[in-house]
Structure 1
Amino acid sequence: MTLRPPWRDIAAMDNPELPRSLRVQAEACRALGSPFHGDLLDLAAEDLEAGGPVAALVTPWADASLRKLFDDAMPLRLLGGLHDLVLSGDDPALVATYPKPGREADASTAWIAARAALIRHHDRIAAFMSHEPQTNEVRRSACLVPGFLTIASETGLPIRAFEVAASAGLNLHWDKYRYQFGDSAWGDPAARVAMDTEWTGPVPPVDTLVKVIERAACDRRPGDLSDPVQRRRLLAYIWPDQFERLDRIRAAIDLALSVGVSVEAADAVAWSTRVAAPQPGAVTVLYHSVFWQYMPSESQTALAKVIADHGAAATPDAPFAWLRMEPPPEHMSNMELRLTLWPGGEDRLLATAHPHGAWVKWLN
């Protein structure tokens, strides 16, 4: 008697939003410069519809709406689980099919190995997918830093920098990186992490003196860079055919370990209430990137109130700034850099940007 594979009767196969989410994310991956992941997700969608092993891995989302699937980043969890397996070297057949410098990869060939890996390593990949993505795109600092320069220029004060949803804290020491904004540069010329971006618009105030006198960060589940498994998890969410991004995050991890980056495990609302109130003699900046959309609505409301309360307490000698790089609700594929600075509290759109910081259009 031939036995049916255990995933063949799984209810997830009946939810059309699951393969749809994989295909929508596939198009997003291609648009953001990862054709390999785009093609891999299309093949994963076909596998799901055919009752393959992908179905067993997405059962926690069997009844999920498309919005829920993207809020949870389910397609990216699946990709991350496979890339984590590659980075570990624990599945040599899969490793042999993935991109590496000097070798193009064929997604169709890779999918044959990936499908087998999903069966062999089901429990491991399912465990990986049970944890929300911990992304820490370093080049988002290329969008955030012009905001910090604007804040320093307009207040003339040193900065207290507090990041919420900081993951492993790779964007906490933004002032230790080197940036190229068109024909202008900012930061230490000898920095270990140097990044450029396709810059359009006026140059930000790169001649401004920036002094960070205090910095801290929190995350609900921060990454521990001293743990090689957690370091690999961060790398797993960098797309494997984007070698420059992988090199950049590895250099940023090395720098973070050398300076002793620390991210507190804490709720963003309670932590911001406790640590980020304005203080005389400095501008206090609460900042985040690609975080707001993942918060429950009640948490968004609560954090917005904390921010408004800190803003109301601000004075010319103790200003408060809210700097954020987040997608607008109507166009989730691009980011907006917004700044609200108190006293005053005017909400300003400073720039639009690529989600990974590949380009910035400065509007200020």
Structure 2
Amino acid sequence: MTDNPLSGALRIQAGACENFGSPFYGALLTLMAEDLDAGGPVKALLAPWADATLRRLFDEAVALRLPNAFNHLAQGGEDPALSAVWPREGVPLDVEAAWRAAKAAIPAHRAQLEAFMTHEPQTNEVRRTAGLLGGFLTVATETGLPLRSFEIGASAGLNQFWDRFRYEMGPVAWGDPASPVLIDAAWEGGPPPLGPVEVAERGACDRRPTDLNDPAQRRRLLACIWPDMFDRLVRSRRAIDLVLDAGVQVDAADALAWTTAGVAPKPGFATVLYHSVFWQYLPAKTQAGLAAAIEDIGARATAEGPFAWLSFEPAPDNMAVMEVRLTQWPGGAARTLAEAHPHGAWIRWLGEGAA
């Protein structure tokens, strides 16, 4: 490990990718860190962050922008030599060959790589709904009302249609068996309340939403999926097809302004505001303002028109574990319903949850 925050960030991300199921990105990021320390071509690609603090590098997910840029190039086929050695299902990984091809591609494709890296990653991980599902089911069961679901930080809006997926997770079997999108996480603990749910209204916003009708933006979204995790790629492609057919819409808006203007309790419905791996990227001031706005919405909730705040975000003391948190009004009672893998690969259900 060097004192260079950039190479340090790459190595930390390498360990995270390895732990979360991507040995390819784990090894590739390690090679990229070594190249950076040696003054290789990676240094020029990361020049905009040369003086960045480790905090800023994490906030802007720089260590994922870099490999994702090469993933985007490889999947698009503009560099056949790179595409030929990039991960493909059924073909053994060859990280050294992939890295040699990636370095060789930089001179001809530097502008494309740099342009990709100007945008933050937006993975829109579909399997995170494995954790959110228990929250939605809890609200629906406890209130006995149809839901109005509103998502902030929604990216492409894939998780906006969580109720149209099929869930098969240990004791949890829920949703349309004919759905093309299967959520098959490992499940620990008892099941959440598995009753029917009616979603009467749904909405979503993102500061810079991905337009799935645009092939270029769709390609960019898929490039943010780690390339040796083929199940994630298949699941995301199927979810894209599903939500396009369903008429997905994500408003381009600031989360605070959108929430304040458009989210409010409504008699006869349980209104749910939710987000997943979004909160951590907000500045502290924005977090405080949004939390205050949510509290204000909650203060207007009634038994006839309840309100809930549902989140899938890192645990305060462990970024490698997500917590599914649910706060409900009237009353503002908060619970941790579950712990989860960052991509939803496993869920540890805590029953009624912990305060």
Structure 1 partner of 2:200:
213
Which of 328, 337, 342 pairs up with 1:350?
337
Cα separation, 2, equivalents of 1:257 and 1:213: 19
Deviations 1:196-240 (A, max 9, x none): 11000111111x121001000000000000111110111111111
Corresponding residue SS for 2:201: strand
Matches within 5 A, 1:143-292: 143-206=131-194, 208-292=195-279
Q: Is the 8 A contact 2:152 2:273 kept in 1?
A: yes
Q: Is the 8 A contact 2:171 2:187 kept in 1?
A: no
Cα separation, 2, equivalents of 1:56 and 1:260: 41
Aligned: 1:111 with 2:99: yes
Aligned: 1:140 with 2:140: no
Aligned: 1:42 with 2:21: no
Cα separation, 2, equivalents of 1:335 and 1:280: 32
Which of 299, 302, 319 pairs up with 1:315?
302
Gaps of 5+ in 2: none
Cα separation, 1, equivalents of 2:192 and 2:132: 11
Gaps of 5+ in 1: 1-13
Q: Is the 8 A contact 1:181 1:203 kept in 2?
A: no
Cα separation, 2, equivalents of 1:215 and 1:197: 25
Q: Is the 8 A contact 2:9 2:58 kept in 1?
A: yes
- Which amino acid in 1 is paired with 2:288? T
Structure 2 partner of 1:330:
317
- TM-superposed CA distance for 1:180, in Å, is 1.1
- TM-superposed CA distance for 1:296, in Å, is 1.1
Cα separation, 2, equivalents of 1:69 and 1:362: 32
Structure 2 partner of 1:66:
54
- TM-superposed CA distance for 1:59, in Å, is 1.2
Cα separation, 2, equivalents of 1:195 and 1:311: 31
- TM-superposed CA distance for 1:15, in Å, is 6.5
Cα separation, 1, equivalents of 2:302 and 2:285: 28
Cα separation, 2, equivalents of 1:102 and 1:113: 20
Q: Is the 8 A contact 2:313 2:322 kept in 1?
A: yes
Provide TM-score, normalisation by structure 2: 0.97
Deviations 1:250-293 (A, max 9, x none): 00001111111010000000100111111111011000000001
Cα separation, 2, equivalents of 1:285 and 1:184: 22
Structure 1 partner of 2:21:
33
- Identical positions, percent: 59
Cα separation, 2, equivalents of 1:58 and 1:334: 28
Cα separation, 1, equivalents of 2:103 and 2:3: 20
Aligned: 1:301 with 2:288: yes
Aligned: 1:120 with 2:85: no
Q: Is the 8 A contact 2:206 2:253 kept in 1?
A: yes
Q: Is the 8 A contact 1:286 1:323 kept in 2?
A: yes
Cα separation, 1, equivalents of 2:173 and 2:149: 21
- Which amino acid in 1 is paired with 2:250? V
- Which amino acid in 1 is paired with 2:196? L
- Which amino acid in 2 is paired with 1:268? A
- TM-superposed CA distance for 1:64, in Å, is 1.1
Corresponding residue SS for 2:185: strand
Structure 2 partner of 1:57:
45
- Which amino acid in 1 is paired with 2:97? T
Q: Is the 8 A contact 1:15 1:63 kept in 2?
A: no
Moved over 6 A (4+): none
Corresponding residue SS for 1:121: helix
- Which amino acid in 1 is paired with 2:46? V
